[in-house]
């Protein structure tokens, strides 16, 4: 049974271009489902998988107190895998079609106020070090472009074209886009490239733009810890890297930017995804937006 899951995940990665994080989530969910099937006298072959097995597993998850959002994710992974088994003629019909996925209420994104962003930017300057300048460059670039943190840490030196003021980033499923950066961010990046990065890098052949203390490419987790430290110091509660993306989009709307422009910059496939920021911007205009209280989620979740 394990081989079937491995082949499915390989197909997702090679044929559909799913990210490493998505593949990992699918693997965890399907491995858990596989372990459940080994209990009692469950089927030991995917070919004998039935609707009753799926219903039993859904009940099993509910009984153990899994959140609705988690059950919905696990159900979606199983449904996708069952479709694959049908395509491979392992199953004659898809037993997951009759299994309803629990409805998950979609919460509105949270954004920082302009004042909170300013407070956050002040903190790296206090360090007066190569790392502090690196951190300022990362924060300003992330907020100034709305890119995802996975896109930020994936940047190579050659991806930032300071002469013309844009950055080339690769988003979900390999979609590439060129994002403009303003003059102030260009100056900060120039300063980082000239003074800070050379002090951090160990290997002259390292192509990553942003480096950790070992001179290697900074990870998403590493950036999250850096952001968390500055947020606590600035008194800005419970923010994630995606909060800066939400804040960029909301503040751009407040400044009068066209929604379709923001959609292109963020790399959203559908403008309906970008439209969620209109309500948030309206709340800020009316002075009703609350201080950020975004739950700590996995980095780079969602659009």
The secondary structure of 162-194 as a DSSP string is: TTTTEEEEE-GGG-EEEEE--HHHHHHHHHIII
Alpha helices (H) along the chain: 2-15, 20-37, 51-63, 68-87, 114-127, 130-145, 149-153, 183-191, 197-200, 220-234, 241-254, 259-266, 271-274, 276-285
pLDDT above 90 covers a percentage of the chain that reads: 53
Q: In which domain, by residue range, is 212 found?
A: 114-285
Task: State whether 129 and 278 are in the same domain.
Answer: yes
Task: State whether 164 and 281 are in the same domain.
Answer: yes
Active-site residue identified among 74, 242, 246, 251 = 242
Task: State whether 154 and 195 are in the same domain.
Answer: yes
pTM of the model: 0.63
pLDDT band at 302; cut points 50, 70, 90? very low
Active-site residue identified among 110, 134, 148, 251 = 148
pLDDT value at 223 more than 90: yes
Say whether 175 is catalytic.
Answer: no
Task: State whether 48 and 147 are in the same domain.
Answer: no
Active-site residue identified among 172, 177, 217, 228 = 172
pLDDT value at 298 more than 70: no
User: Lowest mean pLDDT: which of 58-67, 103-112, 146-155?
Assistant: 103-112
Task: State whether 188 and 267 are in the same domain.
Answer: yes
Q: What is the pLDDT of residue 104?
A: 57
Q: What is the pLDDT of residue 295?
A: 33
Task: State whether 81 and 32 are in the same domain.
Answer: yes
Active-site residue identified among 27, 168, 217, 268 = 268
pLDDT above 70 covers a percentage of the chain that reads: 90
Q: Please spell the DSSP secondary structure of 45-66, one letter per residue.
A: SGGG--HHHHHHHHHHHHHTT-
Active-site residue identified among 140, 245, 246, 251 = 245
- Maximum Cα–Cα distance across the chain: 66
pLDDT value at 40 more than 70: no
- Within-domain flag for 88: yes
Calculate mean pLDDT across residues 240-252: 93
Say whether 143 is catalytic.
Answer: no
Say whether 73 is catalytic.
Answer: no
Which sign, positive or negative, has the C-alpha torsion 66, 68, 70, 74? positive
58-71 confidence digits (pLDDT tens): 888 887 888 888 88
Task: State whether 138 and 281 are in the same domain.
Answer: yes
Say whether 79 is catalytic.
Answer: no
Task: State whether 25 and 147 are in the same domain.
Answer: no
CATH of the domain at 67: 1.10.150.130
Task: State whether 171 and 199 are in the same domain.
Answer: yes
Say whether 213 is catalytic.
Answer: no
Q: Bridge partners of 178?
A: 168
Task: State whether 181 and 281 are in the same domain.
Answer: yes
Calculate mean pLDDT across residues 245-258: 94
Calculate mean pLDDT across residues 210-229: 93
Calculate mean pLDDT across residues 207-215: 96
Rounded to an integer, what distance in angstroms lies between the CA atom of residue 37 and that of residue 257?
A: 52
Q: What is the pLDDT of residue 107?
A: 62
Calculate mean pLDDT across residues 22-39: 89
Say whether 261 is catalytic.
Answer: no
């Amino acid at each position: 049974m394990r081989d079937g899951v491995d082949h499915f995940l390989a197909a997702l990665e090679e044929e559909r271009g799913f990210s490493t994080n998505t593949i990992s989530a699918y693997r965890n969910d399907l491995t858990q489902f596989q372990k459940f099937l080994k209990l009692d006298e469950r089927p030991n072959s995917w070919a004998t998988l039935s609707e009753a097995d799926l219903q039993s597993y859904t009940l099993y998850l509910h009984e153990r107190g899994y959140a609705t959002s988690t059950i919905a994710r696990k159900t979606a992974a199983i449904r996708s895998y069952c479709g694959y088994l049908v395509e491979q003629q392992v199953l004659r019909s898809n037993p997951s079609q009759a299994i309803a996925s629990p409805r998950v209420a979609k919460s509105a994104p949270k954004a920082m106020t302009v004042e909170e962003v300013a407070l956050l930017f002040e903190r790296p300057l206090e360090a007066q070090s190569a790392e502090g300048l690196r951190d300022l460059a990362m924060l300003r670039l992330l907020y100034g472009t709305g890119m995802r943190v996975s896109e930020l840490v994936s940047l190579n030196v050659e991806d930032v074209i300071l002469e013309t003021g844009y950055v080339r980033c690769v988003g979900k499923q390999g979609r590439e886009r060129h994002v403009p950066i303003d003059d102030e961010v260009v100056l900060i990046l120039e300063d980082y490239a000239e003074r800070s990065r050379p002090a951090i890098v160990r290997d002259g052949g390292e192509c990553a733009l942003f480096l950790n203390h070992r001179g290697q490419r900074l990870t998403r987790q590493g950036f999250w810890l850096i952001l968390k430290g500055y947020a606590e110091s600035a008194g800005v509660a419970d923010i994630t890297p995606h909060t800066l993306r939400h804040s960029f989009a909301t503040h751009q709307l407040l400044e009068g930017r066209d929604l379709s422009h923001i959609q292109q910059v963020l790399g959203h496939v559908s403008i309906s995804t970008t439209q969620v920021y209109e309500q948030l911007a309206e709340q800020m205009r009316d002075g009703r937006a609350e201080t950020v209280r975004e739950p700590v989620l996995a980095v780079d979740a969602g659009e």
